[in-house]
């Protein structure tokens, strides 16, 4: 379904259904379950990068609570969850949103599954989605954790939570997610949850270490588009010029990516620029490749599964990307990522890895929040155009020069 349709349904159907289900839950007897969380389901449906941001919270629930972890996600995003092995494959549940019928059918199947699987705790990671609130409220879980509006206007999604967490728009989302697990650890009820700090060492993500065969497959993939590639002679620069339909205003102008690619291959003779993207973005990426017309600028869009990004990021030197999923996927690898922010802010959604965030700092930015459900009214993202190619090149240059020094130092250590 189109994003606009889903948002309309979440509003026009979601509000009355949340009101109705609130009263149903009040009239029904409280569901039974173990006194402490044992089988915890996390819900994060639509944001691809949030699977990485949420990982510290998942690990805390697993390691501190000692709970078995489950995850509910839209089917089209499930590969993002598999980049890390925090959630066992058999504990991943998906919902199709390809049509209204598929969405309704899979929602009913999920509600039946949640009861059969004995899910005793649900943690709704979505920002004020009424659909996820309904799934949480009707799951049959004895503990239901989520962000609550408290005194905020316009964010009504019923009263179906047992643990109402204060959404904090001034701290990183990884900290907000950990606060949800902290709510389950609270020794007594609180309003709002959770009245404890989130420590810095809690918001780190593990490193994904590809096998040698995976690294060799990534090298072979590069050779498919650039036959002369030699990992000892070339450095890879990855460009991700795309962003999801959830917020198209996040895109840096494509002509800027074109100019950046030309500058990189001109300045460094050993640089190979690869354009990444999904299968649906392949045509646009090929157009960009052809418009540049340089042998060391090639498109990989649509040529590999999402899992290939991990060895590819381990192979490359630097990634330049819009604020989108790849910025967060890169956090589980050593690659230096340069992330371009406009409608969103790195304060909330900065990558948890080896990253630098660039933003123009306009007074109107960020323009998407939980209050508008990431539905910006902006029709002219000046904030993205204000990030110049030269400014991005400065950051790329620092990374490339640092990599060059490391290579020289490595060569000196092996000299007789």
336 pLDDT band, cuts 50/70/90, is very high
**Domain identity same for 153 and 253:** no
Whether residue 411 is predicted with pLDDT greater than 70 in this model: the reply is no
Q: What is the CA radius of gyration of the chain?
A: 23
In a domain, 277, yes or no: yes
Domain boundary residue among 181, 202, 223? 202
**Domain identity same for 22 and 123:** yes
Q: What is the extent of the structural domain holding 316?
A: 212-413
Whether residue 151 is predicted with pLDDT greater than 70 in this model: the reply is yes
| 269-278 residue pLDDT tens | 999 999 999 9
Whether residue 413 is predicted with pLDDT greater than 90 in this model: the reply is no
| Long-range contacts, 201-205 (Cβ 8 Å, 24+) | 202/56, 202/60, 202/175, 202/178, 203/56, 203/172, 203/174, 203/175, 203/178, 203/352, 204/56, 204/352, 205/52, 205/55, 205/56, 205/84, 205/331, 205/332, 205/352, 205/353
In a domain, 207, yes or no: no
pLDDT at 374: 79
pLDDT at 409: 58
Give the number of other Cβ atoms within 10 Å of residue 145's Cβ: 28
**Domain identity same for 234 and 180:** no
405 pLDDT band, cuts 50/70/90, is low
410 pLDDT band, cuts 50/70/90, is low
- Is the CB of residue 6 less than 8 Å from the CB of residue 144? no
Q: The tokens of 280 are what?
A: 């649906």
**Domain identity same for 170 and 279:** no
**Domain identity same for 255 and 280:** yes
Whether residue 415 is predicted with pLDDT greater than 90 in this model: the reply is no
**Domain identity same for 189 and 295:** no
Q: What gap in Å lies between CA 393 and CA 269, rounded to an integer? A: 16
Domain boundary residue among 133, 168, 202? 202
Q: How many domains does the chain have?
A: 2
**Domain identity same for 404 and 276:** yes
In a domain, 318, yes or no: yes
Q: What gap in Å lies between CA 99 and CA 9, rounded to an integer? A: 12
CATH number at residue 256: 3.40.50.2000
**Domain identity same for 232 and 132:** no
**Domain identity same for 191 and 226:** no
**Domain identity same for 371 and 249:** yes
């Amino acid at each position: 379904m189109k994003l606009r349709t889903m948002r309309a349904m979440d509003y026009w159907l979601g509000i009355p259904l949340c009101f109705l289900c609130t009263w149903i839950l009040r009239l029904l007897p409280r569901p039974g379950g173990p006194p402490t969380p044992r089988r915890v389901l996390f819900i994060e449906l639509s944001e691809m990068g949030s699977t990485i941001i949420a990982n510290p919270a998942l690990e805390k629930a697993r390691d501190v609570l000692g709970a078995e972890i489950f995850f509910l996600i839209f089917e089209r995003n499930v590969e993002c969850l598999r980049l890390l092995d925090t959630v066992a494959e058999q504990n991943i549940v998906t919902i199709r949103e390809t049509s209204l019928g598929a969405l309704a059918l899979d929602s009913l199947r999920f509600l039946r599954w949640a009861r059969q699987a004995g899910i005793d705790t649900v943690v709704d990671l979505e920002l004020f989605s009424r659909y996820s609130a309904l799934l949480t409220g009707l799951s049959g879980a004895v503990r239901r954790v989520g962000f609550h509006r408290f005194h905020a206007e316009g964010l009504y999604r019923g009263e179906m939570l047992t643990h109402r967490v204060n959404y904090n728009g001034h701290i990183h989302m990884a900290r907000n997610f950990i606060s949800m697990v902290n709510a389950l650890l609270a020794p007594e009820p609180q309003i709002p949850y959770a009245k404890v700090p989130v420590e810095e060492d809690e918001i780190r993500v593990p490193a994904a270490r590809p096998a040698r065969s995976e690294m060799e497959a990534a090298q072979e993939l590069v050779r498919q588009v650039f036959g002369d590639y030699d990992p000892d002679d070339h450095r890879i620069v990855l460009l991700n010029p795309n962003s999801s339909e959830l917020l198209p205003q996040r895109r840096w102008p494509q002509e800027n990516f074109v100019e950046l690619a030309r500058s990189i291959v001109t300045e460094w003779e050993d640089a190979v620029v690869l354009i990444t993207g999904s299968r649906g973005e392949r045509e646009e990426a090929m157009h960009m490749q052809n418009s540049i017309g340089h042998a060391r600028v090639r498109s990989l869009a649509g040529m590999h599964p999402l899992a290939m990004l991990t060895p590819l990021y381990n192979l490359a030197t630097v990634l330049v990307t819009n604020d989108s999923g790849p910025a967060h996927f890169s956090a589980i690898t050593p690659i230096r990522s340069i992330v371009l922010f406009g409608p969103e802010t790195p304060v909330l959604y900065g990558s948890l890895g080896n990253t630098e965030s660039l933003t123009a700092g306009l007074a109107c930015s960020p323009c998407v929040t939980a209050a508008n459900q990431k539905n910006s009214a902006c029709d002219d993202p000046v904030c993205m155009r204000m990030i110049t190619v030269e400014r991005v090149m400065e950051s790329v240059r620092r990374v490339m020069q640092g990599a060059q020094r490391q290579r020289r130092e490595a060569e000196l250590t092996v000299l007789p």
